[in-house]
Amino acid sequence: MAIINLREALNQAMREEMRRDERVFLIGEEVGFYQGAYKVSRNLLEEFGTTRVVDTPITELGFVGVGIGAAMVGLRPIIEVMTFNFSILALDQILNNAAKIRYMSGGQFKIPMVIRGPGGAAHMLGAQHSQSLEIYFAHIPGLKVIIPSTPYDAKGLLKSAIRDDNPVIFIEAELMYGLKGEVPEGDYTIPIGVADIKREGKDVTLIAYSKMLHLALDTAKELETLGVDAEVVDPRTIRPLDVKTIVDSVKKTGRAVIVEEGWRFGGVGAEIANIIYDNAFSDLDAPVERVTNLDLPMPYSRNLEQAILPNKERVIEAVKKVCYL
């Protein structure tokens, strides 16, 4: 298999789907002539032209609405927001139209669209550009929410998202575009709503996604020196969530630590913890632990930014707590 980075994997997914289905088009800020703020749409304009790679003004509410209308009449738009922090400006379209029109029309209209772009904290971008907003979208019935952690997953899941007949929120970690990994050549898809066990283990389950998956994997290696064999589960899809894979892993290990970059109050980890208690309470040997961002706006300075984000020391401390070390 080829070794490519996550940016290239996303580009391949869009290119292959645009070749496969002429109804698929890309729209968003700087996706065409500038080839994307993070160069995810490199050379797509050259191949598909301005009718299928459409540059927009800085008007998220407007061009998300254009995408919804296009989806209603049979097209399959991919809408790129320059950062998911800007998706806040389109929340009315996303939450009240994209998520609800299929239900409110009694199934007369499908909304086959993908809203994708970078999210989460990057280096020193400040409070308004360093937010993990996936729980906002996962809270809304009618939306699917995907957050890939590897180039392989990113390509396969994006292709599935583009083919889905429902609106899909697809969040890419801003600091992972250069992450490299094996990606098969040619067409493949990964089912939406299926988690992946990235590392087998028997003593504790670490549940993490996006950048936090790699923190969990690095921590698992260090935990070996403490005699702890950690299993690492990547949900990949926040909604629908693969409850069975997560619960089966926790039943096997008897312990769970959830690691996420979002805020603690009302976070994704809170929902996963509740699911574990509902489905595996009698199998737990310790209460579920959560490692999250601190409940504060993100500081600009690097040292304070690092103090707020989850780190290896906090994950190890949580594992020691559930393993009574």
DSSP bridge partners of 257:
206, 289
Separation of alpha carbons 71 and 197, rounded Å? 34
Q: Is 289 a catalytic residue?
A: no
Which residues lie closer than 8 Å to 131 by C-beta, 6 or more apart?
84, 85, 119, 120, 121, 298
Tell me which of 8, 16, 17, 60 is the catalytic residue: 60
Beta carbons of 30 and 37 less than 8 angstroms apart: yes
User: Between the CA of residue 46 and those of 31, 34, 61, 178, what are the distances in Å?
Assistant: 12, 11, 27, 23
Residue 13 burial (10 A CB sphere; 0-12, 13-18, 19+)? buried
Separation of alpha carbons 229 and 223, rounded Å? 7
User: Between the CA of residue 217 and those of 71, 173, 221, 325, what are the distances in Å?
Assistant: 39, 17, 7, 20
Beta carbons of 197 and 169 less than 8 angstroms apart: no
Which residues lie closer than 8 Å to 177 by C-beta, 6 or more apart?
5, 6, 7, 38, 40, 118
Tell me which of 30, 129, 271, 317 is the catalytic residue: 129
Q: Is 123 a catalytic residue?
A: no
Separation of alpha carbons 177 and 106, rounded Å? 39
Beta carbons of 184 and 9 less than 8 angstroms apart: no
CA nearest 117: which of 45, 59, 35, 173? 173
Task: Indicate which residues carry an active-site annotation.
Answer: 60, 129
